[in-house]
Amino acid sequence: MATRRQALGVLTGAAGLSFWGAGAEAAGADEVIVPFELTHDRAWTIVKFNGHGWYKLIIDTGADKFSLDDKICKEIGLTRRSSDEMIGATGAAYMNTYLAQTVSIANVVSDPNALVIGLNGGLEDGLQGLIPGALLDNVLFDFVQKRMHLSHKRPSGLQGFSVVPYVKLGNGSSGSMSHVRETSPFPYVRAEVDGRPVTLRVDTGAPEAAYLYASYVDRAGLWDKYKGARETQVGGITSHVSAARLVKAESLKLGDIVFAAPRIALQDPKDKAINDYDMNGEAYIDGLIGIESLRRLDLAIVPSEGCLYVRKNAMFDDVQRINRAGLIVRSVNDKPTAVWVYQGGPAWAAGIREGDIINGYAGGDGTIAGLDWKLSGPPGDQIDLQFTHDGQSKQVSFKLVEAE
């Protein structure tokens, strides 16, 4: 498989990365700019597979392969290979794999002979797959201007950024190096949560500010540490759903950047479905830092130097998007359905129960992701919903409340 990292190494060659006239922006011979959208805490852009598309794919630094809805893979006739394990934030699943002769990203760059995972669910509202950010070469994310700068050299314009070195991975977070993963494509960094060191994957495909895995939560005794913890659920592209608690930490530190009072998710220590383990069965990373934190930064991922560069951007002080309604809605049998309602939360008090069909809501784009975004708005925001309960159509209004 020819990776984008390999392709970016031959910018001026006859093969590999291609420059397209329409839509391409070049900042010089060593850099191209890929536009993307940032909606509902998802950074995505348009992609063609073997000339078919455009499809909406999330830019995911936590993925190491392209992926596309399995039904689409079959419809457009991608060459079936075999099956492979797809590892997500909450679990893993075996899925079909395909070969695409060409993958064109936003009419700017293309990848030949790309391995593609056929996804079976896990995404909502027209998002159809993932771009493997782990295979990008040097990349600078400008989340304010919604532009991704790609280069095979160190990105330009990094003055004023702080440096966050990558970490090598061994057994657990204690630094034991008996099983070192020298060549992992993922960016792993050392951060701090409430002053405790944690090893986190930098994951633009995860909507959370930070998500700490079961093994670390258990080891650090965090499950019952925080007052006012709110029960929730965390899902992923493998469709595995994990019980979690949303808590208000004191701080999340990445390099010189400190996020004050971040809301982070803790995986239930009873759920051991995460696959970030070494060959001895011990966890080698503690969790991930997701786009709810990362979008607030100018972020450069520079594998050639083994580090990140980070700097606060204009969104740094935006209200943190967390579910303040106690309601999770997902598509079930092609209907927007309340799959989880927190007893005692605003949605519960308004009479919504698990299994109710959500028929509509005011002030959004009509999608489930748009509803998720509204439900994670500032405290005091009013939510107007129409839903069906036990065959009866109802309309309710309630206000979002802050977690403890």
Q: What is the mean pLDDT of residues 11-32?
A: 42
Distances (CA, A) of 338 to 232, 326, 328, 358, 380: 13, 10, 6, 7, 22
Distance from C-alpha of 129 to C-alpha of 181, rounded to nearest angstrom: 27
Per-residue exposure over 81-110, b if at least 16 CB sit within 10 Å of its own CB, e if not: eeeeebbbbbbebebbbbebeebbbbbbbb
Strands 287-289 and 196-202: parallel
Of residues 372 and 312, which shows the higher confidence score? 312
C-alpha span between 172 and 276 (Å, rounded): 10
Q: Which token pair is 129? A: 């797959």
Per-residue pLDDT tens over the stretch 107-149: 898 889 999 999 987 777 689 999 998 778 899 999 999 999 9
- Indicate whether 29 pLDDT > 90: no
Q: How far apart are the first and last CA of the chain?
A: 49
pLDDT for res 98:
96
pLDDT band at residue 283 under the 50/70/90 scheme: low
27 by Cβ neighbours in 10 Å (0-12 / 13-18 / 19+) ranks as middle
Q: For the residues 14-41, what does the mean pLDDT come to?
A: 60
Lowest-pLDDT choice from 17-26, 196-205, 269-278, 323-332: 17-26
Q: How do residues 156-182 score in pLDDT, each as one tens digit? A: 889 899 999 998 765 444 333 323 334
**Confidence tier at 359 by pLDDT (50, 70, 90):** very high
HSE-up of 161 (CA within 13 Å, CB side)? 21
Q: Phi and psi at residue 50, in whole multiples of 5°?
A: 50, 35
* Residue 293 scores a pLDDT above 70: yes
Check: CB of residue 45 under 8 Å from CB of residue 57. yes
SS (H, E, C) 36-78: CEEECCEEEEEEEECCEEEEEEEEECCCCCEEEEHHHHHHCCC
Structure tokens at 174: 């204690």
Q: What is the mean pLDDT of residues 206-214?
A: 92
* 218-253 per-position pLDDT tens digit: 999 999 999 888 888 787 666 667 788 999 999 999
Span 332-355, mean pLDDT?
A: 91
